[in-house]
Amino acid sequence: MLAVVQRINEGKVTADGVLTAEHRGLGLLVLLGVAAGDTEDDANLLAEKIRKLRIFSDDNGKMNLSVEDIGGYVIVVSNFTLCGSYRRGNRPDYMNAAAPSDADRLYEYFISLIRKNISEVGTGVFGADMQLSITADGPVTLQLDSEVLKGHR
């Protein structure tokens, strides 16, 4: 399972023309890619890491606080293109992405894990045509991979 995590000051998601999430203030945008073979364990590892990432500044200006510590929000958007392979040619293939039914189930499971500890959680709509509008903060952007957290990469 792959995630791109951005620290943001505001974020908005529109899915098929309908506003599904909008938040202002400090928070995170999580673009989540579910790969073939991912399980609930992958979602558990990533959700735990993301909510504990100390990427917000404390009173001394040091990145020492998590989204949970600051009472921030999280917006989670499914993004199968994170699983794309660009090794050959110029058109990525998405053979490594999980089947839509598996990906949707794990995406919803991941969201449920984030909601256990974060009170404000917005989402996109799985499989929808979405537009995102964010104001990146920093910018602070991290790539997370559950295989790295398992020690496999």
Q: Which domain holds residue 129?
A: 2-137
CATH number at residue 129: 3.50.80.10
Contacts of 14 (CB under 8 A, 6+ apart): 20, 130, 131, 133
Kindly state whether residue 143 falls inside one of the protein's structural domains. Answer: no
Kindly state whether residue 151 falls inside one of the protein's structural domains. Answer: no
The candidate with the shortest Cα–Cα distance to 53, out of 7, 122, 112, is 7
For the entire predicted model, the pTM comes to 0.95
Domains: count for the chain = 1
Q: Which amino acid is at 141?
A: T
10-residue mean pLDDT profile of the chain (153 residues): values are 98 97 97 98 98 97 97 97 90 92 98 97 96 96 96 77
pLDDT value for 153: 65
pLDDT value for 11: 98
Kindly state whether residue 122 falls inside one of the protein's structural domains. Answer: yes
CA distance 153 to 143: 13
Kindly state whether residue 87 falls inside one of the protein's structural domains. Answer: yes
